[in-house]
Structure formats: structure tokens, C-alpha cells
Structure 1
């Protein structure tokens, strides 16, 4: 059975750190640091995904515009073209999406609403668990 995003969210939880587009970049940088995360999802008032702001976005905006950018709204530096997945997406499909897009965080959407986020760390953990389960099954088969 293929591991799905739903399975990963059930194991890790569905909590997502999300902010609105009017928060300053400095406020969002503090949120990233306090939560020890690499990305926040920017949502509209209706809870829909409006963008994503990552550590890379922070570094790029400061490098291009200087420290003064920290007082600007996060909407000025967020990524607005957000690749999303659904709970039915498989682990292998998501690995392909992340590899080809060269990003480490994918919001999970259901009927237009944010329901979770998967990071590359979540994928690595799920893949390790999958390999360990397969190895245990092989050991049990050989022993029988």
C-alpha cells in the first residue's frame, strides 16, 4: 500500500502555522524562529492559501532590498504561485513534486481550504518508516 499525504498528516498532525498577508516580514521571521519552522502559509480571511513565505524568501528579500524590507508586509516578498497537494497524493508523487520544483514545503489543500503542510523532513521520516516496515516483513518471511 502506498503511503499517502493523509497517512503522513495523521501521524504528524495537521497544525499549520499560517499568517495573513499584512503581517510584517520581521513579524513572520520571528514566527519562523519561535516555531523552529522553515515556512509559513499566508492565508486569506476565508482560510484559502494566498501564498507561502519561506526562509529562502526571507534571505532573498533582505539580500535584494536590505534590512529595511523587514518593515514591509509579508505580501511583498511571499511566493504567490504555491504548489499544493491533496491528502490522496502519494509519498512518491510528492517526492517527485518537491524534487522537480526544488522546494521543501507543500501545503495540503482540501476543497480550497488549507488542511496541513508537508515538509521534506516529513517525507524523509515516512520513507524511513516505510523501508523499516519492508525490512521487518522480509525478516519475518525468511524466519517462517
Structure 2
């Protein structure tokens, strides 16, 4: 199973924000859309960072309410791990586990093409395991 299959099912929509927006704006976006991260892009959907709830909590822990006036650029994670549509679910799980993060932007031709979350990956993996178990049950029943 590949990232392409996940995106075909869930879609390519990604919430993005510009690096010069205020952190308070990003927080409102995360809360409104009930998401855990937003991809930071410039005008041509080129990925320049990612801002997660974890990034925000760390900054607020350091600066208190003053953090809300900081720019997204100051708080985001600028070195973003990415994948492409040809990565397998197992490869994506390995990337996420090694990096200890839950959101992985998908890039195509140098631009943001989607995002996969740990929830997407776990859901797909469970579906695969259930399908394999059903195939084994059918094989045993017909043997």
C-alpha cells in the first residue's frame, strides 16, 4: 500500500499558512479545523516548514502569552521530512517513528501535494491486516 492510495481515498487537501502569519492565527486554524499541524508554504505551495501543536506548546511554555504574537516562521519546524506518493505505508511509519512526529507532508514536483497523518497510516495498516486475515480464513475454509 502506498501514499498514493491513501491520498486517493482521503484527498489532497492540506491546510497551509504563510510563514509571516502570527502564531495566534495558526492556533485558530488548528482549533477551527480540528487538526494537529499545518504546513507552512510560500506563494507557490513550496514547503518551507511545518507547525505542529507540539511546536506551539514548546513556544508558549517558554514565552507564555507573548508567544501568540510571534510569527509562524519563528516557531515552525523548518527542516521538514517529506514523502512522495510512491512511499509505502511501512516506509512512512518508519519515517514518522524515527522523527517522532505525526504528520508527513507529501511533495510532488517540488510542491505540496497532500499530507498523511499517523491516523491515516494506522487506519490503512489495520485495513490491510483485516483483509489479509479474511483471505487466510477464506483459504482455510476452501482447503
Could you state the TM-score of these two structures normalised by the residue count of structure 2?
Answer: 0.97
Residue deviations 1:43-91, cap 9 Å, x none? Answer: 0111100100000000001011121110121111000000000000000
- SS in structure 1 at match of 2:54: helix
Q: How many residues align?
A: 142
The answer for the alignment partner of 1:66 in structure 2 is: 64
| Residue aligning to 2:120 | 122
Q: Which runs of 5 or more structure 2 residues have no equivalent in the other structure? A: none
Post-superposition offset of 1:136 = 1.0
Over the aligned positions, Cα root-mean-square deviation in angstroms equals 0.7
Aligned equivalent of 1:19, options 17, 29, 39: 17
Q: Which runs of 5+ in 1 are unaligned?
A: none
| TM-score of the two chains, using structure 1 as the length reference | 0.97
Question: 1:7: Cα distance to partner?
Answer: 0.6
**Segments ≥4 residues shifted beyond 2 Å:** none
Q: In the aligned structure 1, how far is the partner of 2:136 from the partner of 2:56? A: 46
* Per-residue Cα deviation, 1:79-125 (whole angstroms, up to 9, x for no partner): 00000000000001111111111010000000101000000000110
Matches within 5 A, 1:71-82: 71-82=69-80
Matched, 1:8 2:33: no
Name 2:98's counterpart in structure 1.
Answer: 100
* Whole-Å separation in 2 of the counterparts to 1:47 and 1:13: 16
1:87 alignment counterpart: 85
